[in-house]
Structure 1
Amino acid sequence: MQELHPEYRQLKIPVPKEFESVFTYFYYAVNASPHPVTKTLLPSYQTIMLFCFGDPAFMTTQEKNTVEVNQCIVLGPVRQTFEYTLPAGTSILVANFKDDAFYRFFGKAMVASKGTHPNEILQDNCFTELWDEISALSSPEEKTAHILEFCKPYLQDQDETIRLLSNFEDNGLNPIKTIAEQTRQSERNIQLKQKEQLGYSSKELIRYTRFLKAIMMIEKELGLQKKIEWFSIIDECGYYDQSQLIHDFKHFIHLSPTQYLKFQNDICRSGSA
């Protein structure tokens, strides 16, 4: 399929092993064309920090609220798609916080739906200073390395209950009930801690993980230039039927699966490996 915006370049930057429990990876994009480019960002169920270099970028939510991004903004957990527009010559660098990492930095899991400048959360001007420092660096890899070094002193230890929730992989068991029994806590206490530090419930995450698996299977088939086998996706991702698959696509990205195929060149996935 022909690239609609060949001068729009994007890159996913992996993080060193010591930061793998903090960030999934960094996402860099630059608009080298002479015209503004608008893209759609898929939900990630992660809190993101977006740095903007050049003219201000613009984000538009599903509720049609538009936010101007001058230097830096934090948003999340990102539950649904939003559009962003990069003017000519503008670039962005997105840090995708993993699990409770945002809470471990800032002491809260959720931010305003329209986004917040991190200085407002910390009541400090340090992120303006950070932006000044990284804007002078030439490559996205250098910018990423500088951000990682900056983050080290702020990171708090991970709560043991959250660590168990983040690493829970048995789809046949209820994670809340299982961990409550394992740690001798009430289920309500586990739920409250999850909402406070992760910003979402286990039920929400299970639904999103199923949707993300479907997206990744579609991306793989498209990469191999194969015909999409929808019923294989329904079966492997654990959907009851086609209507449930369609319902999840419309819930998360306001598109049907076939509409997603039509517009996927304009849809980016900054987070979730």
Structure 2
Amino acid sequence: MVANFKNDAFYRFFGNALIAEHLPINPDDLLPENCFTTLWTELNQIEDVKHQVNYILAFCKPYLREQNAIAKKFAIFNNDYQNPIKHIASEQKQTERNIQILHKKQFGYSAKEINRYLRFLKALELIQNTISTATKIDWFHIINECGYYDQSQLIHDFKHYINISPTKYLKFQQDICVAKPK
């Protein structure tokens, strides 16, 4: 398992560093050995994956901070017909911009970015389901189902996330072996 931290995500996840901001200190110099070496050694001795995950969670627990109350609302928000930013801003009596900034600060990405990514994943799922049934792809159905404005927006997302066009993706998927469930 790998945990990649983008930009300052490590400090957002585990909290702010206790060293002065202006000191140019390499974090590796603060400890005599890699701080995760012990964790790695212990994990290698555990056979069951579930026990490994529980061990990692127990290891992280002292470092984790209580989640922000508004961030909790985002995490449990489940309404496809409402904009979470507008809904939570109205509920909290704050501006939409304040809620947008809080979302980005708490999650590391904007609500718009996650919605775009989820829409793209839905498009991939629809394409995959269509391939598995051996029917022809109806691109306009996918555009409509996933909430794209037009075909160019779908193509733009494909190029953004996987750096190929939808038709090249389709050809790639048809060229490789796709295991079908029984």
Separation of aligned partners in 2, 1:174 and 1:180: 10
Q: Show structure 2 runs of 5+ residues with no match.
A: 17-26, 178-182
Give the structure 1 partner of residue 113 of structure 2: 204
Amino acid at match of 1:252: Y
Separation of aligned partners in 1, 2:163 and 2:77: 29
Candidates 140, 158, 162, aligned match of 1:249: 158
Normalising by structure 2, we get a TM-score of: 0.70
Q: Relative to structure 1, is the Cα distance of residues 151 and 210 closer, same or farther in structure 2, using a 3 angstrom cutoff?
A: same
Separation of aligned partners in 2, 1:149 and 1:263: 41
Any residues of structure 2 matched to 1:27-38 within 5 Å, and which? none
**Deviation per residue, 1:72-124 (Å, 9 max, x gap):** x52449xxxxxxxxxxxxxxxxxxxxxx9x7774237xxxxxxxxxxx59x66
1:231 matches 2:140: yes
SS at match of 1:74: coil
The Cα of 1:225 is off from its aligned counterpart by 4.4
Give the structure 2 partner of residue 143 of structure 1: 52
Give the structure 2 partner of residue 64 of structure 1: none
Q: Show structure 1 runs of 5+ residues with no match.
A: 1-48, 51-72, 78-99, 109-119, 267-273
Give the structure 2 partner of residue 174 of structure 1: 83
The Cα of 1:145 is off from its aligned counterpart by 3.5
Normalising by structure 1, we get a TM-score of: 0.49
Contact 2:15 2:63 in 1 (8 A): no
Separation of aligned partners in 2, 1:76 and 1:220: 32
Separation of aligned partners in 2, 1:228 and 1:145: 42
Give the structure 2 partner of residue 107 of structure 1: 15
Identity of aligned residues (%): 51
Separation of aligned partners in 2, 1:189 and 1:173: 18
Candidates 88, 97, 109, aligned match of 1:188: 97
The Cα of 1:197 is off from its aligned counterpart by 1.2
Which structure has the highest strand share of the two? Answer: 1
The Cα of 1:226 is off from its aligned counterpart by 4.2
Contact 2:74 2:84 in 1 (8 A): yes
Give the structure 2 partner of residue 133 of structure 1: 42
* Cα-Cα RMSD: 3.3
**Deviation per residue, 1:197-234 (Å, 9 max, x gap):** 11111222221121111112223333444443322211
Give the structure 1 partner of residue 23 of structure 2: none
Contact 1:104 1:158 in 2 (8 A): no
Q: Relative to structure 1, is the Cα distance of residues 103 and 175 closer, same or farther in structure 2, using a 3 angstrom cutoff?
A: farther
The Cα of 1:263 is off from its aligned counterpart by 3.4
Separation of aligned partners in 1, 2:130 and 2:75: 29
Aligned residues: 162
Which structure has the highest helix share of the two? Answer: 2
Amino acid at match of 2:137: I
**Deviation per residue, 1:30-60 (Å, 9 max, x gap):** xxxxxxxxxxxxxxxxxxx61xxxxxxxxxx
SS at match of 2:66: coil
Which structure would you say has the larger RCO, counting Cα contacts within 8 Å and 6 or more residues apart? 1
Q: Which has the larger radius of gyration?
A: 2
Separation of aligned partners in 1, 2:56 and 2:100: 32
Q: Relative to structure 1, is the Cα distance of residues 157 and 224 closer, same or farther in structure 2, using a 3 angstrom cutoff?
A: farther
Separation of aligned partners in 2, 1:167 and 1:243: 32
Separation of aligned partners in 2, 1:139 and 1:228: 41
Q: Relative to structure 1, is the Cα distance of residues 188 and 231 closer, same or farther in structure 2, using a 3 angstrom cutoff?
A: closer
